[in-house]
Amino acid sequence: MGAGIVLLIAAIEIGRRRLSGWLGAPHRYEPAVALLGAAAGLTVAGVSLVIYLLQGGTVPAVNPARAFAAPITIELRNVPLGLAIAWLESGRFAALRKAPVVATRALPNPVWSWPRWRRSSSFAICAPPR
């Protein structure tokens, strides 16, 4: 139950970073949330695998006796999902650990702050008049 709550918090945090303005600003706690999300993903994968094995799970195979049953139980389906979440969150942790946290402020509209003309010799038509 606790690992699911941590995964939910990590997902909300990832969604929050996709927003613009002060809502999407970086915070110092983000690497810790990513590391906890990776640990929660490993926990979900491990618990699901243990439950599957304790219930007498075997390697999935074609069996005529289980023709109308689910080919893979939900416990076994959670294992690669948990491992994938752990992999992604550990990569996010590595990226956030290296990135410095910079105080953000509202930037001016980039359309008005950038130069109008591109100064390149390959685009003579876009060159400013002299």
Burial class (CB in 10 A: 0-12, 13-18, 19+), 93: buried
- How many whole angstroms separate alpha carbon 41 and alpha carbon 33? 12
Cβ atoms 38, 3 nearer than 8 A: no
Range of the structural domain that residue 108 is part of = 2-126
Mean pLDDT taken over the chain: 79
pTM: 0.66
Per-residue model confidence (pLDDT) at position 125 = 52
Counting the structural domains of the chain, the total is 1
The 10s digit of each residue's pLDDT in 36-66 is: 999 999 999 999 999 988 988 877 777 787 7
The 10s digit of each residue's pLDDT in 65-81 is: 777 877 677 888 899 99
- How many whole angstroms separate alpha carbon 104 and alpha carbon 121? 35
- How many whole angstroms separate alpha carbon 44 and alpha carbon 77? 11
